[in-house]
Amino acid sequence: MKKIMNDPKHLLNELLEGFVYTHDHLVSRLEGTNVIHRNYRNNGKVALVSGGGSGHEPSHSGFVGKGMLAAAVPGEVFTSPTPDQVFEAIKIADQGAGVLLIVKNYSGDIMNFDMAKDLAELEEITVEYIVVDDDISIEDTGSVGNRGVAGTVLVHKIVGAAAENGMSLLDLKRVGENVVKNLATIGVSLSAATVPEVGKPGFQLAEDELEYGVGIHGEAGYRREKIKSSYEIAEELVTQLKKHFNWSKGERYGVFVNGLGATPLMEQYVFMNDVRKLLAQDDLQIDYTKVGSYMTAIDMAGVSLTLLKIEDDEWISALNEPVDTPTLF
């Protein structure tokens, strides 16, 4: 294993120290916690809080700032943050109008964020939450359901813009849940992630293999096969998304190609170009596009493809709204 790091046990702390040092004009770390919160205060408006295991950078701390998250709670690598850490994030984020939690659909995240919600309500902080379950790679994965993956960032952006514009807590929850219903993601991996404390890849793919549907923590996908061209990979992922949406000519979509950590932008743009060609064959109207590594899996090679069916023009406006965050989106 080759990593630029010190003791793996101190990785999260050192990551956060470096992050805050770099972006101290935008964010701070709440003393004694792993909570990253924004310096900007939007008094009287709803605050958004998200988080999850580390290893997905720039998610979620990179999206803390004006127009997106009020606070983020990173846990240890691929491990949910504890309820007490989430509770501290809720308290520092709250500006008097309540807090909306944006939670990826994993059992640990659901349990710990829900416990934190209960703790906050004991202190008379009004809290609601949205669960993002956009991964269609393996439908109904386990008892929790579909995993939450890259589409979570689109939820942060759309709901974050609405919060900045003063929307109420319950209306934000409604908007967020509607976005989630129209969101679907599917990915492909060319190589596995290596968790620093483990020291070896989470699974093995031969040099000439890929796997469709691998999760952002290295969860198993739905099929392995010999390596394909970018266009052939795009055909597979677009076919699965077409089955999910059952789209018709003229429908409006946003397209988000996300790198999983070790895939250069050069390859991501090639892949987006192939997706463009395939969607054009069905005469879809593409109103928004985004390419970049925003929800990663440490050093996994691969991409995910997210489509958002546009049901509200305000979503496009929100996706294009400028933000002031460490990672611009």
Token pair in block for residue 21:
């040092």
What 3 state SS string does 135-152 have? ECCCCCCCCCCCCCCCHH
| Cβ-contact 305, 241 below 8 angstroms | yes
CA gap 291, 309 in Å, rounded: 17
- The token pair at 136 is 């269609």
Q: How many helices (H) and strands (E) does the chain have?
A: 8, 12
In whole angstroms, give the CA distance from residue 50 to residue 299. 22
Cis, peptide link before residue 326, omega less than 30° from 0: no
Distance CA 104, CA 107 (A): 9
**Helix H or strand E encompassing 178:** helix 169-181
Q: How many other CB atoms are found less than 10 A from the CB of residue 165?
A: 13
Burial class of residue 2, CB neighbours in 10 A (0-12, 13-18, 19+):
exposed
The pair of structure tokens assigned to 227 is 């390596």
| β pairing state of 209-212 and 223-226 | antiparallel
Extended beta strands in 78-226, E state = 99-104, 127-132, 183-191, 209-212, 223-226
**In the annotation, is 244 catalytic?**
no
Candidate list 37, 60, 156, 217, residue with the active-site label:
217
Output the six-digit token pair for 102: 């944006």
CB 182 within 8 A of CB 203: no
Measured between its terminal Cα atoms, the distance across the chain in Å is 32
217 in catalytic set: yes
Q: Which of 23, 56, 60, 156 is catalytic?
A: 56
Which residues are part of the catalytic machinery? 56, 217
